[in-house]
Structure 1
Amino acid sequence: MQEQWEQVAHTPSATDELGERLGQVLKPGDVVLLSGPVGAGKTRFAKAVARGVGVGSEVTSPTFTIVGEYEGREPFVHMDLYRLYDDPDDPLAQLSEDMLVGIGFDDYFDGSHIVLIEWPQGVRRCLDTYLDIVITPLAGGERAFRAQAVGVSACARMKEWVG
């Protein structure tokens, strides 16, 4: 089962609003994949999602730590897999099982965490259901959001998020 949705955020605050609204509807076991070029606004959007989940502490980009864990109304995990790829811009890049084990990837998919992953192209094959969001920067600071829900729970969550 798949659903799709698109919208343009005309301002940074509109990007924040989209992210916060998504965070408010996410539940443990939900997975959000976040793609887009460097500078597209992935981390800004991830921080807004975290606020929506109720994370009170400052959310920082986990580019160097790979995984950031936070407490909100539910446990929130923010992964940034950029540094694990030989070529992060390769949409077909895959991550080895050893790499995923090395960062404890499977530890976060027991249904008790909300997980958001930046640069997810190498892990889609490992997931059954997820909300896949692509952010594309446009002229004038606008951002285009394209979301695809894969799986029953992701479709339900997208309907809660965008109606």
Structure 2
Amino acid sequence: MKPIILADEQQTIFFGKQLAKQCLSYLLNNNSTIVIYLIGELGAGKTTFSRGFLQQLGHVGNVKSPTYTLVESYQFDEFSVYHFDLYRLYDPEELEFMGIREYFASRSISLIEWPQQAQGILPIADIEVHLSYLKLERTATLLAKTEKGQAIINQLHLANT
């Protein structure tokens, strides 16, 4: 998919909302989990994207990066969303101690910042969202890593035409 230009914070939030709509549609029709890796430098917009994503699903209130807690849970009527920030993870084994596999065992969506910190422990991503700087703007690129991810991205593309 061609990079999407995100001129400001509002466009990053809107982009998160658009992807959330398609993930929700998929999740409500499939008893499944969706794993999304958020990849980018510090300040590239990963948490801002997550804020828009969660707002679209109905969360009201702050969305902060779980830098020190590693994960924030958001409970909705029919599913859960787990927002991970693994930036400060020193040893991937820490995730085993917190029962990481249980987060991927039920109908849920996982947004994972800094997934490279836990290589070998995390499940494969369905979708990778790459956020990067472009002068004063940011760009976002979506990569499907599974058939499920491709189905979700295909619907996103159709929703934007």
TM-score, L = length of structure 2: 0.83
Task: Return the offset for 1:75.
Answer: 1.0
Number of equivalenced pairs: 149
Alignment correspondent of 2:140: 145
2:94 maps to 1:99 = yes
Q: Which amino acid in structure 2 is aligned with residue 113 of structure 1?
A: S
Aligned: 1:120 with 2:115: yes
Task: Tell me by how many angstroms 1:123 deviates.
Answer: 4.0
Give, in whole Å, the separation in 2 of the partners of 1:61 and 1:103. Answer: 18
Identify which of 35, 38, 46 aligns with 2:39.
35
Where do residues 1-163 of structure 1 align in structure 2 (5 Å cutoff)? 4-26=1-23, 27=27, 28-72=32-76, 74-85=79-90, 96=92, 98-123=93-118, 125=120, 126-140=122-136, 142-163=137-158
Contact residue 8 and residue 144 of structure 1 kept, 8 A: yes
Give the distance between the partners of 2:12 and 2:113, measured in 1 at CA: 16
Structure 1 residues 129 and 60 mapped into 2: Cα distance closer, same or farther (>3 Å)?
Answer: closer
Please report how far the alpha carbon of residue 43 of structure 1 lies from its aligned counterpart in structure 2 after TM superposition. Answer: 0.6
Q: Whose relative contact order is higher, 1 or 2, with alpha carbons under 8 Å and at least 6 apart?
A: 1
| Distance in structure 1 (CA, Å) of the matches to 2:102 and 2:2 | 30
CA contact (8 A) 1:19 1:49 kept: yes
Deviation at 1:32, TM superposition (A): 0.8
For residues 17 and 85 of structure 2, the distance between their equivalents in structure 1, rounded to whole angstroms, comes to 19
Q: Percent identity?
A: 29
Please name the residue that 1:90 is paired with. none
Q: Which runs of 5+ in 2 are unaligned?
A: none
Runs of 4+ residues over 6 Å off in structure 1: none
Q: Which TM-score applies when normalising by structure 1?
A: 0.82
